[in-house]
Structure 1
Amino acid sequence: MRIAIAGAGAVGQSIARELLDGDHEVMLIERSRQNHQPSNIPGAEWVLADACELSSLEDAGIERCDVVIAATGDDKVNLVVSLLTKTEFAVRRVAARVNDPRNEWLFTDAWGVDVAVSTPRMLAAMVEEAVSVGDLVRLMTLRQGQANLVEVTLPQDTPLAGSRVRDLALPTDAALVTILRGGRVIVPQPDDPLEIGDEMLFVTTEDVEQEIRAVVHGGKAT
């Protein structure tokens, strides 16, 4: 895929390296000469321009990108970049970095955002996940708030220990997508056993999150 990243600070450059390792074509758009450092990531295409300007995006050929990531440290800039790339250039997928959690409500499809990633919220979720066995931890919001990626670690007292994936009485609008067990990433199959300490990742709507927690602790949805 061809991916454009607006903002070549520490976050933007880190994302670029990961994407290049995945054999994607990456373009970094940066307006600051201080951050415009092509020698740091020679495998990427670098553009010295303001991604909030329509003409700059046009000159960069943003319409040829499959994905745009607005990764600057300024929420206002990320919103403008998202809106322009989605509405003016019809980029298929736009992801935006949320720096201040208080602004998260703005990062919706109304501003052209398909996926909003709140760094503070993700860090807080990681801390919660590390200490909250059995509790449901929201890791990420998907589809402009229509669904969430949540994690639950099976506690010692769960009645699900020894049962199988097919035995999960999940509510409607919830799906088990991955089980993390030790160093393994398991794509769940109906006959796979469940073990204490399994980190279970679900995609679900907010309305049924607590029903998933009830399944983990009580063995069924309530």
Structure 2
Amino acid sequence: MRVVIVGAGSVGRSIAQELLLSGHQVLLIDKDADDVQASRVPEASWLLADACELASLEEARLEECDVVVAATGDDKVNLVVSLLAKTEFGVPRTVARVNNPKNEWMFDESWGVDVAVSTPRLMTALIEEAVSIGDLVRIFEFQQGRAAMVELTLPDRSEFAGRRIGDVRWPEDTVLVAIIRGQRPIAPTPDDAIESGDELLFITTAEQEAQLQRLLAPDVKPRSAEA
């Protein structure tokens, strides 16, 4: 997979290093990158350019990449890059970093953003997850499909503890995608059983979130899943 990352700060470099370890091709674009930064991720390709200019993105051959990650510390830049990637180059997947939570409402398909990643939202979600057994916590949204990844820790004495996944009728448009048990991720199969204390990760829609919580944790007062 060829990935172009705009923004070679600590966030962009960290993403690049993880992708390179997984065997992907990475190009980092930054108008202020220097030799010191480049030496920190020598396996990546580097382009010293302004990613908000079409000529720079043409030089980066964006039409040949699979994913564009807009990871700068400037929300305006991340939006412009996402929009250009989608409308001018037809990039299949765009991921944009949200720096200011007040700007989250703009990071959607109208600006070419497929996935918006808000650090404050993720941190808040993880904090809430750590202290709120039975609460449904929205981790992040897939903007294009209006779906979201949500997490719920199965309460003690839940009637679903020990139940086969294949025997549970989940709400419509809801898929159990992972179980985290004792820090170990499990890819669920119909024959697996869920246990109290399991962290259950679902892909679902906003309309089904309340029903999912009522199903798994009826004794917990529903609240907004927004982090």
Give the TM-score normalised by structure 2.
0.92
Q: CA deviation at 1:152?
A: 0.4
Matched, 1:216 2:197: no
Matched, 1:44 2:56: no
What amino acid is aligned across from residue 9 of structure 1 in structure 2? G
What amino acid is aligned across from residue 158 of structure 1 in structure 2? S
Would you say how many aligned residue pairs link Structure 1 and Structure 2? Answer: 219
CA deviations on 1:100-133 (whole Å, 9 max, x unpaired) are 1111111111111111111110111111111111
Ranges of 4+ aligned residues in structure 1 off by more than 6 Å: none
Q: CA deviation at 1:166?
A: 2.1
- For residues 127-142 of structure 1, the aligned pairs below 5 Å read 127-142=127-142
Match of 1:16? 16
Provide the C-alpha distance between the structure 1 equivalents of 2:189 and 2:82, rounded to a whole number of angstroms: 37
User: Does structure 1 conserve the Cα–Cα contact (< 8 Å) formed by 2:6 and 2:29?
Assistant: yes
Match of 2:207? 207
Q: SS at the partner of 2:217?
A: helix
Match of 2:196? 196
Provide the C-alpha distance between the structure 1 equivalents of 2:58 and 2:24, rounded to a whole number of angstroms: 21
Q: CA deviation at 1:194?
A: 1.4
Q: SS at the partner of 2:95?
A: strand
Provide the C-alpha distance between the structure 2 equivalents of 1:181 and 1:100, rounded to a whole number of angstroms: 33
Match of 2:154? 154
Note closer, same or farther for the CA distance 1:21–1:159 as it changes in structure 2 (3 Å cut).
same
Provide the C-alpha distance between the structure 2 equivalents of 1:94 and 1:38, rounded to a whole number of angstroms: 23
User: Does structure 1 conserve the Cα–Cα contact (< 8 Å) formed by 2:8 and 2:33?
Assistant: no
Across the aligned residues of Structure 1 and Structure 2, the Cα RMSD in angstroms comes to: 1.6
Q: CA deviation at 1:35?
A: 8.3
User: Does structure 2 conserve the Cα–Cα contact (< 8 Å) formed by 1:107 and 1:144?
Assistant: no
User: Does structure 2 conserve the Cα–Cα contact (< 8 Å) formed by 1:159 and 1:217?
Assistant: no
Farther off after superposition, 26-35 or 62-71: 26-35
User: Does structure 2 conserve the Cα–Cα contact (< 8 Å) formed by 1:30 and 1:36?
Assistant: no
Match of 2:125? 125
CA deviations on 1:175-220 (whole Å, 9 max, x unpaired) are 111111113221211221111111100100011101111111249x
Segments of 5+ residues of structure 2 without an aligned counterpart are 220-227
Provide the C-alpha distance between the structure 2 equivalents of 1:186 and 1:46, rounded to a whole number of angstroms: 37
Match of 1:73? 73
What amino acid is aligned across from residue 134 of structure 2 in structure 1? G
Match of 2:222? none
Q: CA deviation at 1:173?
A: 1.2
Q: CA deviation at 1:167?
A: 2.8
Matched, 1:85 2:95: no
Q: CA deviation at 1:36?
A: 6.7
Provide the C-alpha distance between the structure 2 equivalents of 1:163 and 1:5, rounded to a whole number of angstroms: 43
Provide the C-alpha distance between the structure 2 equivalents of 1:75 and 1:105, rounded to a whole number of angstroms: 12
Provide the C-alpha distance between the structure 1 equivalents of 2:154 and 2:35, rounded to a whole number of angstroms: 44
Farther off after superposition, 65-74 or 34-43: 34-43
Provide the C-alpha distance between the structure 1 equivalents of 2:30 and 2:18, rounded to a whole number of angstroms: 18
